[in-house]
Amino acid sequence: MTRSEFLSRLRQGLVGLPMSVAAEIVADYETHFEDGAAAGRSEAEVASALGDPARLARELRAEAGAQRWQQEKNPSAAAAAVFAVLGLGAIDILILLPILMGVIGALFGVGIAVIAVFVTGGGIMVGGPFLDVPGGAGASILAGLGLMAGATSAGALLAVVTIGLVNAIVWFARLHYRLLKPALEPQTTVVGDPA
């Protein structure tokens, strides 16, 4: 694979990242080719040492998503981090996706239940005094406030669990990237080494 082919495939894989980030990454890999040429290595040797540019782009996108989540901590950054991790490889998707979809579905269901309990508590608090309920108006107001407070507490706990889940996914991405990074770096042999 030539330098231009490698960089072209790398650019294609980085589509979706901010232009400045993608340009900086491509410039770093152009430097690898320049350093390789200065050391007398061919473009094919340098490209082979760097690995598959599409796989490399997926790993770099995962790292960029993880960094964005660490900086911004918002739903958009969380989604970007999760999808970047899922883009790392088919085996990861086959293992992680069913588990992740189940957990996300459960969190979504709990979120809907929390909202329903909060709205129900508000309805009891507002409408209870006008109905003939045991304990009178005071009891219905307190019951409604209790339901709303419980829903608010459950919502806060749900937010903490969701942030923890996103942090775990980002941790997985970083671990995955660190494990693969040595395979992406050019291998050097020591003079006299039988390798």
pLDDT tens digits along 19-73: 888 888 888 888 888 888 888 888 888 888 888 887 777 777 777 766 666 666 7
* Predicted TM-score of the model (pTM): 0.47
What confidence score (pLDDT) does residue 189 get? Answer: 46
Angstrom distance (rounded) from CA 50 to CA 1: 11
Measured CA to CA in angstroms, residue 50 lies from 31, 88, 185, 186 at distances of 12, 17, 6, 6
pLDDT tens digits along 92-105: 666 677 888 888 89
What confidence score (pLDDT) does residue 84 get? Answer: 62
